[in-house]
Amino acid sequence: MNQDDALQLHNLLTQGTTIAQVSEAWGKSRSQLYKLLYKHGLSLPSDQRLSQEEHMQLQQESGTPPEVYAYRAGISPATLRRYGWDMGLTPALNTHAAKKAWWERELDAFSPENAQVFCTLRNLPVLLVAEWYHKLNKPRALLLWGFNRLLRVEGEQFMDFQRFADPSTKLFALGAGKLVVPIGVRLADEIFKHAQHYQQS
């Protein structure tokens, strides 16, 4: 789905079509449609924005951890937690054990060959996928996330990767062992020169 789809969706919503109607007609989940708007700098018309109660209900029904639902719904995890707090509710799959089990199932199909496709098809943020891949697999290699393939970084100058952390971006990440830090696009391009394809052992 591209920018034209996003504009068409926004026009439909502005004209009074509900997000549920578009979801059914297009064969896309509501979370995919929210993400499409968010990706292209658009938002729901004010009369169609979800209430706190609706967000909490959808998160419960989604069967996804709070961070994944928030990403797909175009809100921050902190906002979703605040909704739950205001309503006296706890989001579904909120414990570490539940999140770990969910990510183990998701990452069972992960391939370093198609890292970006994996994130795109499952509508998952690169940084979250990287964080859980490293938590579960603890790879020894220094890995670069955000390109089509998962890459192993050869340059020793990047081994102290924590100093490159850039919280403002979630497009690219560096990780080793259990740790992952987000990095900016310029640094990612520079590190790309020192990287090669990563083979999962």
Predicted pLDDT at 140: 92
Range with the largest mean pLDDT of 37-46, 68-77, 139-148: 139-148
Mean per-residue pLDDT, 123-132: 93
Mean per-residue pLDDT, 135-160: 93
Largest Cα–Cα distance in the chain? 56
Residues near 7 by beta carbon (within 8 Å), at least 6 away in sequence: 40, 42
Specify whether the CB–CB gap between 137 and 108 falls below 8 A: no
Of the listed ranges 46-60, 88-102, 145-159, the least confidently predicted one is 46-60
Spell out the long-range contacts of 26-33 with Cβ–Cβ below 8 A and sequence spacing 24 or more: 28/1, 29/72, 30/58, 31/58, 31/62, 31/69, 31/72, 31/73, 31/123, 32/1, 32/72, 32/123, 33/9
Predicted pLDDT at 121: 86
From first CA to last CA, the distance across the chain in angstroms is 34
Is residue 156 predicted with pLDDT exceeding 90? no
Architecture of domain 1-49: Orthogonal Bundle (1.10)
The rounded percent of the chain whose pLDDT value lies above 70 is: 98
Instruction: Place 170 in a pLDDT band, splitting at 50, 70 and 90.
Output: confident
Enumerate helices (H) and strands (E) in the chain, giving the number of each. Answer: 10, 5
Q: What is the pLDDT of residues 5-53, one digit of tens each?
A: 989 988 988 888 877 788 888 888 777 787 788 778 787 776 567 788 9
Residue type for 182, please? P
Nearest-angstrom CA–CA distance, 87 and 171: 32
Predicted pLDDT at 186: 92
Is residue 189 predicted with pLDDT exceeding 70? yes
Predicted pLDDT at 108: 96
Predicted pLDDT at 47: 59
Instruction: Place 201 in a pLDDT band, splitting at 50, 70 and 90.
Output: low
Predicted pLDDT at 71: 86
Predicted pLDDT at 107: 97
Compute the mean pLDDT over every residue in the chain, rounded to the nearest whole number: 89
Mean per-residue pLDDT, 146-170: 90
Nearest-5° Cα angle at 20, 47 to 29: 125
Mean per-residue pLDDT, 113-124: 90
Specify whether the CB–CB gap between 117 and 148 falls below 8 A: yes
The domain ranges of the chain are 1-49, 51-94, 96-197
